[in-house]
Amino acid sequence: MTATSRPALRGIVEEFLFREAALLDDWRLDDWLDLFTHDARYMVPSTDLPEGDPGRDLVFIDDDIMRLRARVARLNSRHSHRENPRSRTRRFVSNVRVEETEDRQLSVSANVLVYRFRSGEGAPYVGSVEYVLRRDGEDLRIAYRRAVLDMEDLSWHGAVSIIL
């Protein structure tokens, strides 16, 4: 993946993001977890402080890889009651932008719309997801993933019970 043209690079990243979205919608969470580097972070800031820093501010989620694995184990178990039975989700990923950083990582942002349906109700999570992707041979790995919600609060959902 050297000297890739910009549109081609975006194509590669989009392919990766679409594959990731499908894994999440299909609840193949263990496979999804394989996309991450061992030093990865997954973060969701509070709705009233999108720029929130987990070292200083209150956020919704700030997982290192250990806690992300525990989150997936929890979601895979029968005792994650908010997601048992599992909700149906459908993700739409668009407006993908890619910047190559000096250390050859990819700084990516995308708009995302995640519809979630369960218990006779449905509502979207709307926001953007920022990534730092790292090259791993011919493949990409997620080193950082931050989902920033546009909603003013979680009044539609009551929780962040799925991966955003």
Partner 1 sequence: MKNAAEPMDIRDLVIDDRKRGVFRVHRSCMASPDLFQRERRLIFDRCWIYLGHESEVERPGDYRRRTVAGRPLFFVRGKDGQVRVFLNSCPHRGAMICRRDGGNAKILRCFYHAWSFNTEGELIGVPGRDAYGPNFDPAELGLKKPARVDSYRGFFFVSFNPDAEDLRTYLAGARDYLDLVVDQTQEGMRVVPGSNKYAIKANWKLLAENSLDGYHLIPTHRTYVDYMAGLGTDDSGDSLAARPPGAGRALGNGHCVSENISRNGRPIARWHPVFGEEAKERIARTRRRLVREYGEKRAFRMADTSRNLLIYPNLLIMDFVAISIRYIEPVAPDRMEVTAWHLVPREESGAALATRLDSYLTFLGPGGFATPDDVEALESCQTGFRASENEWSDISRGMLKSRPGTSDELQMRGFWRQWHANMLGRNTTNVQDGQPTESQAAAADSEADGLGHRASAR
User: Which C-beta is closer to partner 1: that of 10 or that of 69?
Assistant: 69
- Give the CA distances from residue 70 to residues 23, 25, 36, 56, 73, in Å, rounded to whole numbers and listed in that order: 18, 19, 14, 23, 5
The residue ranges that bind partner 1 (CB under 8 A) are 44-49, 52, 54-62, 67, 70-71, 73-74, 77, 79-83, 119, 152-161
Determine whether 113 is exposed, middle or buried from the number of CB atoms within 10 Å of its CB (0-12, 13-18, 19+).
middle
Q: Shortest approach of partner 1 to residue 119 CB, angstroms?
A: 7
Q: Shortest approach of partner 1 to residue 15 CB, angstroms?
A: 28
User: Which C-beta is closer to partner 1: that of 77 or that of 101?
Assistant: 77
Q: Shortest approach of partner 1 to residue 28 CB, angstroms?
A: 19
